[in-house]
């Protein structure tokens, strides 16, 4: 039975009891609108830990002035039912007032890792992410925390947060879960029109095209980017905002590829902005 926890005090009590009982906590932070990608992380946590906690909190700090915080999908009853199917023990579901009784006085900055890609497109976004994740880690006190590789930049930033702030937490990256046609699972997919939904799988196909070129020996980033972007423009009505090649997890832009990289993209459809990436190990 999954229990709903709405206050920091109660979550602290649960964490303390787990520590006393020497039970390991696995943690999956989310903003709700749960889909199979979230459930995969939860299943892995349930399999690897004594207790699994997820959070459902739409964090206002990571929304920019032109991003509609109020429109973000919220349905705690549906989320709770889904979490229960995979054996989640607790859902930490605080109100905004509970998490931020006042606007944070002390700011955490994501720094250089947030100055590129999504961070460049959405100034302040990752500052909001690291602030809320830092708070959640201190409240839940997990031994392991699970993040999706779909947002590879976020994963790299959270790994650096743990290192820089000495959190005794292992970060586990989970492979992107995709629809049968290759489209990455995302709560934003519901905003695609019927025609856009048919086009959207081509984003992943463009990444696979770039990976094939890499596997054939191409090491010029400009070539991979041009081929992927051209493919997207030919096969979708979306506006290509970004196709980029960066080292991973250092997030340094690559012109001549060496070492592990990730190829990322962001494409704007009429009502949805989709991101995707693939990580290529050296």
List the binding residues.
31-38, 62, 148-151, 154, 177, 185-188
Q: Which tokens in the block code for residue 105?
A: 């006085």
Residue 91, Ramachandran bin (φ over 0: left; ψ between -120 and 50: alpha; else beta):
beta
> What pairing do the DSSP bridges indicate for beta strands 239-247 and 3-5?
unpaired
CA angle (264, 267, 268) in 5-degree steps: 155
Q: Which residues are annotated as a binding site for ATP?
A: 31-38, 148-151, 177, 185-188
Phi, psi of 56 (to 5 degrees): -125, 105
**What gap in Å lies between CA 9 and CA 98, rounded to an integer?**
10
Q: Which residues are annotated as a binding site for beta-alanine?
A: 62
- 38, 125, 167, 202: the active-site residue: 38
Q: Which residues are annotated as a binding site for (R)-pantoate?
A: 62, 154
Q: Which tokens in the block code for residue 47?
A: 């399999």
| Residue 125 designated active-site | no
> What DSSP assignment string belongs to 171-239?
EEEEPPPB-TTSPBP-GGGGGS-HHHHHHTTHHHHHHHHHHHHHHTT--BHHHHHHHHHHHHHHH-S-E
Which residues are tagged catalytic?
Answer: 38
């Amino acid at each position: 039975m999954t229990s709903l926890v709405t206050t920091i005090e109660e979550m602290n009590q649960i964490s303390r009891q787990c520590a006393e009982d020497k039970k390991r906590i696995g943690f999956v932070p989310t903003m709700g609108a749960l889909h199979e990608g979230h459930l995969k992380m939860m299943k892995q946590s349930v399999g690897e830990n004594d207790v699994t906690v997820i959070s459902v909190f739409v964090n206002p700090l990571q929304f920019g002035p032109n991003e509609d915080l109020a429109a973000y999908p919220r349905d705690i009853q549906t989320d709770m039912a889904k979490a229960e199917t995979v054996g989640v023990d607790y859902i930490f579901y605080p109100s905004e007032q509970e998490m931020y009784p006042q606007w944070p006085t002390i700011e955490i900055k994501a720094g250089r890792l947030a100055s590129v890609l999504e961070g460049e497109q959405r100034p302040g976004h990752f500052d909001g992410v690291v602030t809320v994740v830092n708070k959640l880690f201190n409240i839940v006190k997990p031994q392991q925390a699970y993040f999706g590789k779909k947002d590879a930049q976020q994963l790299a930033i959270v790994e650096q947060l743990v290192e820089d702030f000495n959190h005794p937490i292992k970060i586990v990256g989970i492979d992107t879960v995709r629809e049968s046609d290759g489209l990455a699972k995302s709560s934003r997919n519901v905003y695609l029109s019927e025609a856009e939904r048919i086009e959207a799988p081509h984003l992943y196909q463009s990444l696979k095209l770039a990976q094939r070129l890499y596997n054939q020996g191409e090491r010029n980033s400009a070539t991979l980017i041009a081929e992927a972007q051209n493919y997207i423009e030919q096969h979708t009505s979306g506006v290509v905002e970004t196709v980029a090649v960066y080292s991973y997890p250092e997030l340094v832009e690559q012109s001549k590829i060496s070492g592990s990289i990730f190829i990322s993209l962001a494409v704007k459809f009429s009502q949805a902005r989709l991101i995707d990436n693939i990580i290529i190990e050296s």
